[in-house]
């Protein structure tokens, strides 16, 4: 998307998020999902198509534009970003590696608002994605899938799931025993479990995807080539981590905005608590950390736009921004004082919602391992 068009789009999105999405948060919490009319508006605005190539009906945004869009949406409740992010992130990235026929069939659908999910995590494998147990066995012109995927975002709403499965029992070099499959949810043998009850992020539903003798055509093998599943999953991680970094920075900014307003309105000892230096210190520390995270995100995105591999930068940004968000929402609760512990006020919700960002797309501890490995690899030349 050219710069002028993106600027106009971003300004429109900024207003829409604050005028439409933020007021709808109460309804999202009440029904535990994004209302259908808002989901339709998102599709009409082209939000599901921001990363889809133009030849398939999308906007073809650069990485910087895509991340900036997700950051803007993330000012509102996490359910809105969650509904979009899997489509425009992992699923679209995966489908770009498909055959021409697969791209022609599925990319226009996801760009048009069909919700998809990405199924990698299992009951016994999360960050250890190479250890997954779901099996896909070739049977003539079909594959038969068996296994359970856990914590799958958008599964209760999805029409299609990208499923990672083992096509070889034994482990192969470079994880070539893992393949990716396009699995319609209405496939016989595919069951979506009941939505999990979570600490926060109400409306962003997750559930198990269970496959029992689920037969899919061999054409559903992504790229029509076995052994590319792990590569597909890893290709989406850098952008996914930048997306989580961006939503962490945005939600921290939203919480800080709430804390700042409360501090100017709440009085103690006859004056607004914003006049107390220890309150000011918490506000200042939060602003500085948000600014640092935003700078890291912009730098990583600029490098990614050149085609450079940004595994190190994406992990650094995700780790710092998600941990920073946790610190900011904690300070905001503290600024609210006793009111911050009550559901009547936003601070309590911000605190619960933010906790997941340190787990999404690889925990902080996994990011530390990734960063260290990249540093050591660079030393070895």
Active site amino acids: 361
Cα separation of 109 and 87, whole Å? 10
Cα separation of 60 and 263, whole Å? 42
Six-digit token pair at 285? 């520390």
- Residue with the two structure tokens 């300070």: 331
Six-digit token pair at 305? 């736009």
Q: Are 309 and 378 in contact (CB under 8 A)?
A: no
Cα separation of 27 and 358, whole Å? 26
Burial of 266 (0-12, 13-18, 19+ CB in 10 A): middle
Q: What are phi and psi of 209, to 5 degrees?
A: -115, 115
Burial of 324 (0-12, 13-18, 19+ CB in 10 A): buried
Those residues with Cβ within 8 angstroms of residue 45's Cβ, 6 or more apart along the chain or in another chain? 13, 16
Q: Are 114 and 86 in contact (CB under 8 A)?
A: no
- Residue with the two structure tokens 């559901």: 343
Nearest to 247 by CA among 3, 118, 80, 44: 80
Q: Are 165 and 136 in contact (CB under 8 A)?
A: yes
Q: What are phi and psi of 62, to 5 degrees?
A: -70, 170
Cα separation of 154 and 160, whole Å? 10
Cα separation of 181 and 260, whole Å? 48
């Amino acid at each position: 998307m050219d710069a002028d068009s993106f600027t106009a789009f971003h300004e429109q999105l900024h207003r829409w998020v604050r005028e439409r999405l933020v007021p709808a948060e109460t309804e999202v919490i009440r029904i535990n999902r994004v209302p259908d009319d808002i989901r339709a508006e998102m599709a009409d605005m082209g939000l599901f198509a921001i990363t889809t190539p133009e030849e398939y009906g999308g906007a073809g945004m650069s990485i910087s534009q895509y991340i900036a869009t997700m950051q803007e949406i993330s000012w509102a409740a996490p359910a809105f970003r969650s509904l979009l992010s899997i489509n425009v992130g992992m699923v679209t990235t995966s489908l770009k590696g498909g055959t021409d026929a697969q791209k022609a069939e599925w990319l226009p659908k996801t760009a048009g608002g069909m919700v998809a999910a990405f199924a990698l995590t299992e009951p016994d494998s999360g960050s250890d994605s190479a250890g997954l147990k779901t099996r896909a066995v070739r049977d003539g012109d079909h594959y038969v899938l068996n296994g359970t995927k856990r914590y799958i975002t958008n599964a209760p709403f999805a029409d299609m799931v990208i499923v990672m499965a083992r096509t070889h029992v034994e482990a192969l070099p470079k994880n070539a025993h893992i393949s990716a499959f396009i699995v319609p949810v209405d496939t016989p043998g595919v069951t979506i479990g009941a939505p999990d009850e979570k600490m926060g992020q109400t409306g962003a539903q997750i559930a198990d995807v269970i496959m029992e003798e689920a037969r899919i055509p061999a054409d559903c093998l992504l790229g029509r080539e076995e052994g590319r599943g792990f590569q597909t999953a890893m290709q989406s991680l850098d952008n996914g981590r930048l997306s989580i970094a961006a939503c962490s920075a945005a939600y921290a900014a939203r919480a800080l905005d709430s804390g700042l307003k409360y501090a100017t309105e709440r009085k103690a000892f006859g004056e607004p608590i914003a006049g107390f230096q220890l309150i000011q210190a918490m506000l200042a520390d939060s602003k500085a950390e948000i600014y640092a995270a935003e700078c890291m995100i912009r730098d990583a995105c600029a490098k990614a736009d050149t085609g450079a591999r940004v595994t190190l930068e994406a992990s650094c940004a995700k780790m710092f921004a998600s941990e920073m968000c946790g610190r900011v929402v904690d300070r905001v609760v503290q600024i609210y004082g006793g009111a911050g512990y009550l559901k009547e006020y936003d601070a309590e919700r911000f605190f619960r919602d933010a906790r997941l960002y340190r787990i999404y797309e690889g925990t902080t501890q996994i990011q530390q391992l990734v960063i260290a490995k990249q540093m050591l690899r660079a030393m070895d030349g």
